[in-house]
Amino acid sequence: MAVLDKGGKLAMTDGTIWVVNPQDIEEASGWIPPVMVTIDEQSSSKEYDYTLTNTETEVSITALRRR
């Protein structure tokens, strides 16, 4: 995983790019690779419809999948 745009985006090793909810950018900017992340789908009615969890700290953020 790589942190891009000062925490505004996360790039995973599988090539997916995740746009971080603006409310969670500060938290995501502190994730220092290598970090294992679990990804869980949330309600599709939300704009940021996935929860990404740092498995080391167990801190979660919300994001949307860009590609």
At 10-42, the pLDDT tens digits run: 999 999 999 999 999 999 999 988 889 999 998
43-55 in b/e form (b: 16+ CB < 10 A) is eeeeebebbbebe
What gap in Å lies between CA 2 and CA 44, rounded to an integer? Answer: 25
Instruction: Express each pLDDT in 2-18 by its tens digit.
Output: 999 999 999 999 999 99
In terms of Cβ atoms closer than 10 Å to its own Cβ (0-12, 13-18, 19+), residue 17 is middle
pTM: 0.90
* Domain range annotation of the chain: 2-65
Pairing of strands 2-4, 9-11: antiparallel
